[in-house]
A = this chain, B = another copy of it.
Amino acid sequence: MINQLIECVPNISEGRRPEVVSACVEAVASVEGVKVLHFTSDYDHNRTVITFVGEPERVVEAAVRLCKKAGELIDLTRHTGEHPRMGAVDVCPFIPVKNVTAEEIVEIAVTAGKRIYEEAGIPVYLYEKAASAPHRVNLADVRRGQFEGLPEKTKLPEWQPDFGNGYHPTAGITIVGAREFLIAFNIELDTNDVEIAKKIAKTIRFSSGGYPCVKALGLMLHETDTAQVSINFTDYKTTSLYTVVDKVREEAEKYGTTVKCTELIGLSPMKALIDSAAHYLKIRDFDYDNQVFENHLL
């Protein structure tokens, strides 16, 4: 039997009432085999992010229970907060962790969306890799108009929910999707010329002809007087860390500078780092699934 693991990172529209946050986290944790890694509430955003992992079926069950519970306890007609939101469970992405293909994670998200409508009674939009049309891929587009805009938005033929009709009167619409682990990674240059960082960012980012699944900006770090290329890898399996770091090194040299150091913000999946190790150590025929000891424990 292959042991499959996925992650789910729902955002719920509640970050002020601890008893509501607890009830929602408990709904997730009530599913056997699901492990809540952490949850973090933001008062100003009035929003909580919950991170949990487990086998696909268990994780989907936990997401459904969360939507039921949040639907009971969160009333968006009374919700205020700085972060845009459309549902009691606002956005609910599923992310592959182990032995789950790109196709499978989409199927998992679609199954979850269907069940959320059928069992919690909350209509669902599918986004990112699970999107049913190109105009629904981008989260900001799907969420535009927020909860308050739903009466108008759901009248438009191009904005009918993927599951259900209209919207839930207090819980709105939940936006369910499949995506890869996002890696936030910065590269500091040995220069204070921000123009160089901007030019390099332009070279590597997809939107101006660079690498797929790479977003990048050139920034100035005033505190240390350093130019930085700030990068998001939205799919490290498509474009790897080392590909971009090597390219930035090469470009920096053209501009007469070098890479001083890099910085990983938050978490990275181990595979993204180990792929780089295998590249730089030049390991021939490296078998990630079998040769990394910890892969036998997960």
Q: Are B281 and A294 in contact (CB under 8 A)?
A: no
Copies of this chain held together in the complex: 2
Chain B positions within 8 Å of A276 at CB level? 277, 280-281
Tell me if A286 counts as interface (CB < 8 A to partner B): yes
Closest-CB distance, A249 to chain B (whole angstroms): 10
By beta carbon, the residue of chain B nearest A280 is: B280
What chain B residues lie within 8 Å of A292 (beta carbons)?
A: 267-270, 273
A141 within 8 A of B: no
A270 in contact with B264 (CB, 8 Å): no
Q: Check if B269 sits within 8 Å of A294, measured CB to CB.
A: yes
Q: A209 at interface (Cβ–Cβ under 8 A)? A: no
Question: Is A284 an interface residue when CB atoms closer than 8 A count as contact?
Answer: yes
Contacts of A278 in B (CB 8 A): 273
List A residues 238-271 near B (Cβ within 8 Å).
241-242, 245, 259-264, 266-270
Q: Is A283 an interface residue (CB 8 A)?
A: yes
A270 (CB) vs chain B CBs: closest residue = B294
Q: How far is the CA of A167 from the CA of B242 in the complex (A)?
A: 56
Contacting A291 at CB < 8 Å: which of B5, B268, B282?
B268
* Nearest-CB residue, chain B, relative to A273: B277
A127 surroundings in chain B (CB, below 8 A): none
C-alpha spacing A232/B186, complex, angstroms: 35
A283, B262: Cβ atoms under 8 Å? yes
On chain B, the residues within 8 Å of A259 by CB distance are: 282
The verdict on A285 contacting chain B, using a C-beta distance below 8 Å, is yes
Beyond A53-B297, A269-B293, whether A263 also contacts B285 by CB under 8 A is: yes
Contacts of A181 in B (CB 8 A): 293
Interface flag for A78 (CB, 8 Å): no
A276 CA to B281 CA in the complex, in Å?
Answer: 8
Q: Is A156 an interface residue (CB 8 A)?
A: no
Evaluate whether A283 and B297 lie within 8 angstroms (CB atoms) in the complex, with A270-B292, A273-B277, A277-B274 already known.
no
Q: Kindly identify, within residues 137 to 155 of chain A, every residue whose CB is under 8 Å from any CB belonging to chain B.
A: none
Instruction: Give the nearest-CB partner of A181 in chain B.
Output: B293
Determine the distance from Cα of A181 to Cα of B282 in the docked complex, in whole angstroms: 21
Contacts A264-B291, A273-B278 aside, 6 further interface pairs with beta carbons under 8 A come to A260-B282, A261-B284, A264-B286, A267-B292, A274-B277, A276-B277
